[in-house]
Structure 1
């Protein structure tokens, strides 16, 4: 028996000064067996109602019939202009990351020229301290002064530092140049990712962020190769001169082709928005922590008073910084409340330990190739090509996957699993390990790192509102850099201690045996049988360093399992979500006072 339908009444509330008046009856036409879309559309327009607030009055303006579509938050330029900008940004990342480690193989030549071996450690320390401490500042500064101006300033500072270092006439001048370079490099690395995120929607970012992340890692790997080639065949000063033409090209391209909105406001108003208290405390905390990490085990013993005192002071200042950022500024450089979000703390935690293991591997594999295998700096650099290849494959592949599928959350965990395997295989390296084995292991490590490069940036950007995008992106680079410093310090201490113990145990009657740690070439002053024992001692020390790397990877994997998936939407999907939904569902009478049609 067919059910008979009869018109019913749907209550609609009309606002009055006293509240809601008596209800008006709106006829409801039920759907019949033969569906007429024109009739249904007309009916939807008739029964659309407005739900008022309890305090609504007649003076309240009517709501628009449909919600406005959200304006696009990304300003991707035309294809040719975008390609020019992309090349300039890639070169910025290349020179900034290259200089983190390019001087490592030039240190003997620099020490000979300035006759200052004891100050040579400052070449790396000064650069890393300023780079790490200034990185978080660039995110907030770019929100205040604009992306283009901030990126140009960072590029200018990097070129000034390169010029000072390239034409240095003393070790002190060279150290000052390296510190100025670090100020600029911190901004270059952070701003490139921020600018790309401004130009691209969430889904499209993965592909390009993966490409830039691959360039960052590749330049870190080939840095020792170029540094050794410059020191051997021309002059170590080319480690800095090479930045000048490349940086100039970047500045010119960015100045003429990059067009991003500039925040409004006068210079006085913008300066007031800067968190000076937080900036000072953060830089002080980073310096107090990085100095003992750089000096420990080399200039001073880890248990010395100055190392312990600086570390304690650094962590105390870091605690004060957290309290200040939490309570004092209106626009903190590190919004503490963001860390209540699961994707923020899990991504940064995993990234910190991944950075520790990545840079530890990157730092000590050349020691294996150059000392244990007896290869030159140039050949040792070429040995890392499988690492570069694997990293590039997964960086680009994961970016394309994020573009097509909109998913990314499983990449950090997958990368850390592979990194655990690669680090564990590094433990098996010995004096006689064949090249085919090292090629496979380095390829595996590269594949692992590539999975974590761009996915970390996507994870934090998808977890916050657009106004925090620059801040969380800059913090990605800061956390990674901080992890690299901690990783090298911890693994360096373990390596040196195990190496010293093994050498002293094998050569108890030779008081000069420890000189091979400071000068690897002195190994060849010993007889072949003794040389083999020394090389096995180096393998013993490296093995324990790689144990640390495995432990860091395990911690990173556990934390990365907490990263949640947030959908990456294209611009079209965001616009579609903003359109009003005209479908409606009657609410049965008596269920609630506010009857609604959605």
Structure 2
């Protein structure tokens, strides 16, 4: 009888909160189906969360931390090693693809991984993601040419994206409210430490050894994390693999969600670089990517309407909420300056200012240290000043505009000017506010049943925005080099420069200065582009804040904190059951 009682209570709470969202214009009746959710809860009650000892919880937390650190580490570690990697393979023209392809598959499989956890089980999916990540990390280190490295990085990104999204699903499935602060702090430290260590260790490894150890070092870490989690994680939501289970998976939606984004980013990446924009390859992939996006949306709509078995990768009803739509658009736009800065600034330091890979990583610290520190502020303010937290979303976007705009007017100088660090601090502060608050706002906007996929969509759009920014930035760089240096360098030198920046060491002093000025102008223009996206994101962030404030007028603190989506421990469930039995 207990599951039925809990279902009724949850349905009543969800109905009350959802009705308030409708009244405030945050959702429409079509986006909320509380009765259906209650029916599912009653007919298919989820298994109780196993009661784990504190020691076992912290062991699992250690395993999650190691796996998540390795996945996050890989998003930044190659930034200071791109010059050496592409020089060995004589293929600087495709340098950004080493980063882009990892982020692309990392991003593309976030929604699919989240959905498969509901179907195949959390433990099996998490261990599978770690295994894929580890195998292809070693393959990346053993790559013999650029094409192999790009392909292996794509598969590595699939594992990394799975680790990222499943880590949070697992954490919220095993912890109680009392330990949320401890675990959240630990998980937050992963991204702070990975952001700092990535560029630094990438530079050290490249300068003191070979870039291949950037990937080989993942091997021992993966083995340790896999062993810890294999024995420590309980069987949460595990199901038997059969035809009925497989029939629930949205294979078509998963394929389409990856396909359209790959085609679109490929066109943006190669247009103006390998091929002119008018080339049939670029036009074909660009149009196919855009058409593919609409096909994906149409397919998901059809599955939601016509199929009672297949579970859509992305429920389109979320887009009926203007607040969620503006939130996603903000996340996409702010993703551009985030990723452009992480990739472009180390390149600028090395090529324009002539610093070493190690120092180029160290000089990113103003941004990488400020960002995680600022991300703590919304979490600390949430309990007492939660009604004011949404304002930080717009403030963070404004700071991102200021920082990005400053980095777009640096010009050429042999020395790194002090103002550069100030602009990095502003950008880091903006990033530190926008990202965590964006996650919190999902709690206001979405029903509990949609929160996981909403968070996955938000992460996906952030990375996709970064990919689009990097693709446009690469096109800008090639356009500047090809139009600004033909009178300075011979065709052979120009071709060699696009293959590897190490050619700079062979140039005459006057040629070197001319090349540095062209690259500096290119980097300024890339940040001007990023500033435009950040400014557009600021507009969307203000609209998001407006709609969030409307719904906040209709709810109180008790309603809000009851929708945080936290799992109750078995000890709490037993206590409530005993109390109800005593009352009866």
**Who is 2:20 aligned against?**
none
Say whether 1:397 aligns with 2:372.
no
C-alpha separation between the residues in 2 aligned to 1:255 and 1:460?
31
**Who is 2:524 aligned against?**
543
C-alpha separation between the residues in 1 aligned to 2:92 and 2:203?
18
Choose from 308, 317, 323 the match for 1:343: 323
Choose from 570, 574, 583 the match for 2:562: 574
Normalized against structure 1, the TM-score is what? 0.75
**Who is 1:139 aligned against?**
114
Choose from 407, 415, 436 the match for 1:426: 407
Q: Could you say if the C-alpha distance between residues 518 and 225 of structure 1 is closer, same or farther in structure 2, counting changes exceeding 3 Å?
A: farther
| Conserved? CA contact 2:79–2:346, under 8 Å | no
Say whether 1:378 aligns with 2:358.
yes
Number of equivalences: 504
Q: Could you say if the C-alpha distance between residues 215 and 74 of structure 1 is closer, same or farther in structure 2, counting changes exceeding 3 Å?
A: same
Per-residue deviation, 1:214: 6.1
C-alpha separation between the residues in 1 aligned to 2:199 and 2:561?
45
C-alpha separation between the residues in 2 aligned to 1:107 and 1:144?
39
Q: Could you say if the C-alpha distance between residues 97 and 247 of structure 1 is closer, same or farther in structure 2, counting changes exceeding 3 Å?
A: same
SS at match of 1:229: helix
CA deviation string 1:282-313 (max 9, x = no partner): 22212222222332232222332101110101
Say whether 1:410 aligns with 2:391.
yes
**Who is 2:571 aligned against?**
none
CA deviation string 1:245-266 (max 9, x = no partner): 2222222333333347416676
Say whether 1:438 aligns with 2:438.
no
| Conserved? CA contact 1:357–1:487, under 8 Å | yes
| Conserved? CA contact 1:96–1:188, under 8 Å | yes
Q: Could you say if the C-alpha distance between residues 412 and 76 of structure 1 is closer, same or farther in structure 2, counting changes exceeding 3 Å?
A: farther
SS at match of 1:562: helix
C-alpha separation between the residues in 2 aligned to 1:549 and 1:115?
29
| Conserved? CA contact 2:60–2:229, under 8 Å | yes
Higher relative contact order by CA 8 Å / sep ≥ 6: 1 or 2?
2
**Who is 2:251 aligned against?**
276
Show structure 2 runs of 5+ residues with no match: 1-44, 564-584
Per-residue deviation, 1:181: 0.9
C-alpha separation between the residues in 1 aligned to 2:198 and 2:214?
9
| Conserved? CA contact 1:285–1:314, under 8 Å | yes
C-alpha separation between the residues in 1 aligned to 2:279 and 2:176?
51
C-alpha separation between the residues in 1 aligned to 2:438 and 2:294?
25
Q: Could you say if the C-alpha distance between residues 419 and 206 of structure 1 is closer, same or farther in structure 2, counting changes exceeding 3 Å?
A: farther
150-159 or 433-442, which deviates more = 433-442
CA deviation string 1:187-246 (max 9, x = no partner): 112222333344568999688657645643653564343233223322222111111122
Give the structure with the larger helix fraction.
2
C-alpha separation between the residues in 2 aligned to 1:493 and 1:88?
40
Q: Could you say if the C-alpha distance between residues 176 and 423 of structure 1 is closer, same or farther in structure 2, counting changes exceeding 3 Å?
A: closer
188-197 or 270-279, which deviates more = 188-197
| Conserved? CA contact 1:127–1:182, under 8 Å | yes
Root-mean-square deviation over aligned CA pairs: 3.4
Per-residue deviation, 1:419: 0.8
**Who is 1:188 aligned against?**
163
Per-residue deviation, 1:327: 1.8
Say whether 1:448 aligns with 2:412.
no
**Who is 1:297 aligned against?**
272
C-alpha separation between the residues in 1 aligned to 2:108 and 2:392?
28
| Conserved? CA contact 1:144–1:273, under 8 Å | yes
Say whether 1:89 aligns with 2:64.
yes
| Conserved? CA contact 1:165–1:177, under 8 Å | yes
Per-residue deviation, 1:366: 1.2
Per-residue deviation, 1:456: 1.4
SS at match of 1:334: coil
**Who is 2:463 aligned against?**
481
